[in-house]
Structure 1
Amino acid sequence: MPPEQHRTPVRSERRTQEQRRTATRAALLAAAAELVVEAGVRAVTLARVGERAGYSRGIATHHFGSKQALLDALAKSSQSGFVAGVGDLPPGLDRLVFLIEGYIRELGRDGVAGRAFLLLWAEAATATELSAGFRERDAAFRADLREDVAAGIANGEIPGDTDPQSVAVAVLGQLRGIGMQRLLDPDAVDTQHLSSAVAGQWRRALSAGTSRTG
């Protein structure tokens, strides 16, 4: 049999192994998110995550190595693509408003991963093993917000005396704060209404004065 006929099954097997690995990792992260929401960060152990996902007690250690690495991966995965479509828009005021509205709307879905992220974020204020990773994620979020404000200033949508860093800090604080309130008292936070109301407030605040000075 020619050598090339032996190679196709090997490639298929490798793809299957990678798919199994990806599925296992996703199941472990989902199990970790459920445990964080149900019992808190301190109740999460690698063994419990493996059992909750339906695998052996040692599978989470094999995939992540440590609890900190697992929680870092959970935080990253739970916020990846949180607001669908934002990456398709060019930087500027429209993208910023789209992000604000979409973020608050997603908070209203009460997804386990999103709730787990907020609990991890709150825990990071006192848990040193989490703080560095969340500082980096918040810094990256603020950088994206600053980029939108700076682009809005450059194209005349936002007044030139606006401080992008101040806006970034305020927007991030507001979004996280709404999320925490939603966790504590869901009935008091109408995300459907807030999503458009808060987005509209930021659009008006950031575009104020451009018609007179532009």
Structure 2
Amino acid sequence: MPTPRRTQKQRREQAEAALLAASAELVVERGARALTLAGVGERAGYSRGIVTHHFGSKHALLERLARSVQAGFVPGLDELRPGLDRLLGLVDGYIGEIGRGATAQRAFLVLWTEALTTPELASVFRERDEAFRADLRDDVAAGIADGTVRGDLVPAEVATAIVAQLRGIGLQRLLDPDAIDTEHLRRSITEQWRRALAAQPTRQP
């Protein structure tokens, strides 16, 4: 049977996915500063014109790439209710994804470090990090509300500490992959946060 023709929407989505994948590869290989629209088009098998058509500018392309790779960094979290279990699942899953060393995750970390000295990236990553912290704050607050998280904790402080730790592990893994045993680390770090956050059972009189 003949293969059904793709719709215009399907062709557009396929092209955008290929361009984002090519962008991630080039960012990992050369960094964001060396990225060009022409290079992205060539790597993806398209012309420079189609890159401009889909994203408009290099800045818009990098912004879209940053959003897309972080949005799916840890799969499966949407199925969990906010609270301690979801937070621990995020920690475990994040370190596990770092260990996989996928191009998209590595590209995000490269972009995050370059945002420190690249003003057009800085605003994007401030927003991304704030969204990450807000997600964690909600989990801590939900855990306090349902009694599974210690009531003396400040959600914003916990969120900041977790983001700092996860980003730091990611950067170490990016710099020296063989030095970081993520499979062992994900278990120990997750357990550390469980002990640090979990409320103690109430003793019966």
TM over 0.5: yes
Structure 1 residue 210, shift from structure 2 partner: 2.3
Deviations 1:146-200 (A, max 9, x none): 0000011111111211000000000001011000000001111111011111001
Aligned to 1:20: 11
Matched, 1:65 2:56: yes
The farther-off stretch of 57-66 and 167-176 is 57-66
Alignment equivalent of 2:149, drawn from 138, 141, 158:
158
Q: Distance in 1 between matches of 2:99 and 2:92?
A: 11
- Which secondary structure does the structure 2 equivalent of 1:211 belong to? coil
**How do 1:1-214 and structure 2 match up within 5 A?**
16-207=7-198, 210-211=200-201
Q: Distance in 2 between matches of 1:22 and 1:63?
A: 10
Equivalent position amino acid for 2:140 in 1? V
Q: Distance in 1 between matches of 2:48 and 2:134?
A: 39
- The percent of aligned pairs where both chains have the same amino acid is 64
The answer for unaligned runs of 5 or more in structure 1 is: 1-11
TM-score w.r.t. the length of structure 2 is 0.94
State the superposition RMSD in angstroms.
Answer: 1.5
Q: Distance in 2 between matches of 1:56 and 1:150?
A: 48
Q: Distance in 1 between matches of 2:42 and 2:50?
A: 9
Structure 1 residue 57, shift from structure 2 partner: 2.0
Question: 1:108–1:192: 8 Å Cα contact kept in structure 2?
Answer: yes
- Which secondary structure does the structure 2 equivalent of 1:108 belong to? helix
TM-score w.r.t. the length of structure 1 is 0.90
Bigger-Rg structure (1/2): 1
Equivalent position amino acid for 2:175 in 1? L
- Which secondary structure does the structure 2 equivalent of 1:82 belong to? coil
Structure 1 residue 79, shift from structure 2 partner: 1.6
Q: Distance in 2 between matches of 1:213 and 1:97?
A: 25
Equivalent position amino acid for 1:196 in 2? R
The answer for unaligned runs of 5 or more in structure 2 is: none
The list of structure 1 runs, each at least 4 consecutive aligned residues, that deviate by more than 4 angstroms after superposition, is none
Deviations 1:48-106 (A, max 9, x none): 10111111122111110010100011111112222111110011111000100000001
Deviations 1:114-141 (A, max 9, x none): 0000000011111000011111111011
Question: 1:156–1:210: 8 Å Cα contact kept in structure 2?
Answer: no
The farther-off stretch of 114-123 and 55-64 is 55-64
Equivalent position amino acid for 2:130 in 1? A
Q: Distance in 2 between matches of 1:152 and 1:100?
A: 15
Equivalent position amino acid for 2:61 in 1? L
Q: Distance in 2 between matches of 1:58 and 1:179?
A: 34
Deviations 1:26-45 (A, max 9, x none): 11001111110111111101
Q: Distance in 2 between matches of 1:131 and 1:19?
A: 32
